[in-house]
Amino acid sequence: MMRFYVIFLLMLITTLSAEDSCISCHSELDEERDESDKIVAKYLSGIHAQKEVGCADCHGGDPEAFDDEDEAMWDVDNFLADMEKQDQLDMCGKCHSDPQYMRMFSASIKTDQVSQYLTSEHGKSLVKGNQKAAVCSDCHSYHDILPVQDPRSIVYALNVPVTCAQCHADGQYMKDSGLPIDQLSQFKKSVHGVALLEKEDITAPACNDCHGNHGAAPPDVVHVKDICGTCHVNNRDLFQKSHLFSELSKEGFGQCEACHENHAVLKPDDSFLDWSENSVCIKCHLDGGSAKIMADHFYTIIDSLKENLKLAHSIIDSAENKGMIVSELFFDLEEARKVLIHTRTNIHSFSTAYVDTNAAPGFKAAQAAILGAQASLNELGFRRKGLFYFSLIITFLVVVLGIKIRRMKK
């Protein structure tokens, strides 16, 4: 495979060299460079080469001038080589902000990257003259730029955290920004990070899903619920209607992150409600009070639903292992399990009445499953008792027949 790729690349370079002086000369220069610095090879592996966007389309110059370096580059007015970060924005934006041009490649392609960028913290900082602010090539790399859907791309979902961390985890680089540098290490521990980086679940959020990509900025405290609510819709809706939301908003306190953290979003656990060291409520409600009563109530509801489910499961398993048909009871079990999941969401209403009302069908379903399974076990007992009496009758008849046969023998 590798051999095929090298042959293909050589053929491509040979073909393109004949038409493009940039490729022709830089291929020769690349021969003395390390693998990671070979400009032409990188370019040829990227999306621009695939779409036949040549070197001169970004850098200017004259790709038809084969004989003289000055004629090809330095003497041409529009030639761009080592450029300022601001120039890079113009260079990329020249095409990527032109809907008419970009439509040639895809009907649904976005062209708002530069305008979005200018609203981002990166963009604002660049405008202020901060040359450390990230621009296009810092996130997308240059020459070997790949589409976001390509797993080799540094902006592919699984690679985004590491790409962002190139700057954001570098203490020296971020020294003057006043920002923390532990986001990646925090994220790796989080439920999102585990799903994305360990389980490689690309539906799990990466940095850009909460912060935006081209318009990257930290969400305002008051809008955190909307950011989290993009995925956790029910939790957001319930929380937004709760008394806790209005009180937190009044005081300007954090919302979702107050209990769940931000980069280190913990995997939610029922012990969050258990009034002990794991409890998240205790972080603010040190004195307990009504918060403790509510948390205890929620914890009891969830715990007893879980216990009911466990009991139902064990009786159903027992009946099933003994050969009884209990498949219909799994519908009740599923219903109860669904309600348990909803109850964990419903606690975001911070209303005991709401939680109780909506948990009731779960208890009912679990009870139905328990009763159904018990009825199955009772039926099994009935069958065994029936078998016992039947065997008694058969044994009696066999003994009577045996006696009769013995008498007949005599």
Interacting residue ranges for other proteins, rule: CB under 8 A: 323-325, 327-328, 383-384, 386-387, 390-391, 394-395, 397-398, 401-402, 404-405, 408
Q: Long-range contact list for 158-165, CB < 8 A, 24+ apart?
A: 158/196, 158/197, 158/200, 158/202, 158/206, 160/206, 160/207, 160/208, 161/187, 161/188, 161/193, 161/196, 161/197, 161/206, 161/207, 163/139, 164/139, 164/207, 164/208
Q: Which helix (H) or strand (E) holds 339?
A: helix 329-346
Query: Which C-beta is closer to other proteins: that of 310 or that of 404?
Result: 404
Token representation of residue 101: 């041009």
CB of 378 to other proteins, least distance (A): 14
Query: Which C-beta is closer to other proteins: that of 218 or that of 402?
Result: 402
Specify the amino acid at residue 4.
F
CB of 383 to other proteins, least distance (A): 5
CB of 406 to other proteins, least distance (A): 11
Token representation of residue 404: 């009769």
- Nearest-5° angle of CA 32, CA 34, CA 38? 80
Query: Which C-beta is closer to other proteins: that of 243 or that of 385?
Result: 385
In Å, what is the CA distance from 120 to each residue of 24, 46, 135, 137, 400?
Answer: 39, 26, 11, 16, 98
Specify the amino acid at residue 368.
A
With tokens 């000055």, the residue in question is 70
CB of 22 to other proteins, least distance (A): 53
CB of 332 to other proteins, least distance (A): 14
Query: Which C-beta is closer to other proteins: that of 195 or that of 371?
Result: 371
- How many helices (H) and strands (E) in the chain? 22, 0
Query: Which C-beta is closer to other proteins: that of 231 or that of 371?
Result: 371
Token representation of residue 158: 């699984």
CB of 382 to other proteins, least distance (A): 10
Query: Which C-beta is closer to other proteins: that of 99 or that of 386?
Result: 386
CB of 410 to other proteins, least distance (A): 12
What does 6-54 look like in DSSP terms, one character per residue? Answer: HHHHHHHHHHHHHH-HHHHHHHHHHTTS-GGG-HHHHHHHSHHHHTT--
Query: Which C-beta is closer to other proteins: that of 283 or that of 409?
Result: 409
Contacts of 79 (CB under 8 A, 6+ apart): 59, 60, 61, 73
266, 258 Cβ separation under 8 angstroms: no
Phi and psi dihedrals of 152, rounded to 5?
A: -85, -10
CB of 85 to other proteins, least distance (A): 55
CB of 105 to other proteins, least distance (A): 38
Query: Which C-beta is closer to other proteins: that of 259 or that of 315?
Result: 315
Query: Which C-beta is closer to other proteins: that of 15 or that of 395?
Result: 395
Choose among 234, 233, 258: nearest CA to 342. 234
Specify the amino acid at residue 310.
K
Query: Which C-beta is closer to other proteins: that of 320 or that of 356?
Result: 320
Choose among 152, 215, 218: nearest CA to 183. 218
CB of 331 to other proteins, least distance (A): 13
